[in-house]
Every structure is written in C-alpha cells, then in structure tokens.
Amino acid sequence: MFETCLAKVGFSEITWVPTTVSQAGIAAYGDAFWTDYRANPAFEMLRCRA
C-alpha cells in the first residue's frame, strides 16, 4: 500500500530499510538483549526519491 501510494504521487526508488543495532548498543547492553528486537523490530525506515 505504501509503495503504491508513493509511486502514484511521483516518488521513485522506494526501498524499505530495516533498522540495525549499533555496536555501541551491543557494547552497552550485550548481544542477547537485542534478540527479541531483531526478531520483531518495531519499525522499518522507508527511503524514496522525489
């Protein structure tokens, strides 16, 4: 739905970009802390060009 709507109004190069855990986050909380987040991310970024 998002891709279709964005394309209809003139956007191109529509790409979903998954979020990642930074090395600083892993260092601060440990790798195991992020297991659930990696399996079930709360959101993804959407990149497109006007």
CB atoms under 10 Å from CB of 24, counted, come to 8
User: Looking at the whole model, is its pTM more than 0.75?
Assistant: no
Q: Give CA–CA dist 21/23, Å, rounded.
A: 7
Q: What is the mean pLDDT of each run of 10 residues along the chain (50 residues)?
A: 95 94 97 96 92
Can you give the pLDDT at residue 15?
Answer: 96
CA 25 vs. chain centroid, Å, equals 16
Can you give the pLDDT at residue 46?
Answer: 94
> Which token pair is 22?
């930074």
